């Protein structure tokens, strides 16, 4: 009986460790896509940002309209001054969407024309094992004499 109990505890520990290793691997892999996408965003390379969006998002927007919209939004933020990751999370389901691999990254960001700026990105791994942006959202306060919405979802 003691041997069975020890085997069960050992198996459970190995299984939990393996799950954590997989989660860490997926988040590390997804973070490469996030970093690339945000780099393109801050370099005003919006056509490459478009390419990094999931098919689900691309099917809801015309590419030229999306590029124009994100360009206007980024101009309203002012110059990019920095970004710090505040959290990351891996999920196997997300808000009523089909099961799959999802990664959520949150950031505290600094732009010249905003205050208390946060950004969140949700990525989904597609059927080719590529991480694609499913949601980019932000919250911020406007600086005096600048008009910015308090909260916005750019894509979903």
pLDDT tens-place values along the chain, 156 residues long = 555 444 444 444 444 444 555 889 999 999 999 999 999 999 999 999 999 999 999 999 999 999 999 999 999 999 999 999 999 999 988 887 888 899 999 999 999 999 999 999 999 999 899 999 999 999 998 877 655 554 555 554
Q: Are 31 and 105 in contact (CB under 8 A)?
A: yes
Q: Are 90 and 127 in contact (CB under 8 A)?
A: no
DSSP single-letter state for residue 21: H
User: How many C-beta neighbours within 10 Å does residue 109 have?
Assistant: 21
Q: Are 131 and 110 in contact (CB under 8 A)?
A: no
Residue spans of the domains in the chain: they are 2-155
Topology given in CATH for the domain delimited by 2-155: Nuclear Transport Factor 2; Chain: A, (3.10.450)
């Amino acid at each position: 009986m003691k041997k069975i109990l020890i085997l069960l505890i050992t198996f459970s520990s190995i299984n939990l460790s393996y799950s954590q290793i997989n989660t860490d691997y997926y988040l590390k892999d997804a973070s490469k896509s996030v970093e690339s996408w945000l780099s393109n965003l801050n370099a005003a390379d919006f056509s490459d940002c478009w390419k990094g969006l999931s098919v689900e998002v691309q099917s809801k927007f015309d590419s030229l309209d999306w590029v124009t919209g994100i360009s206007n939004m980024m101009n309203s933020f002012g110059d990019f001054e920095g970004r710090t990751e505040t959290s990351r999370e891996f999920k196997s389901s997300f808000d009523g969407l089909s099961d799959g691999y999802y990664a959520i990254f949150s950031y505290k960001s600094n732009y010249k024309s905003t205050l208390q700026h946060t950004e969140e990105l949700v990525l989904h791994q597609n059927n080719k094992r590529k991480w694609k942006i499913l949601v980019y959202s932000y919250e911020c306060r406007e600086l005096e004499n600048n008009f910015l919405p308090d909260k916005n979802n750019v894509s979903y």
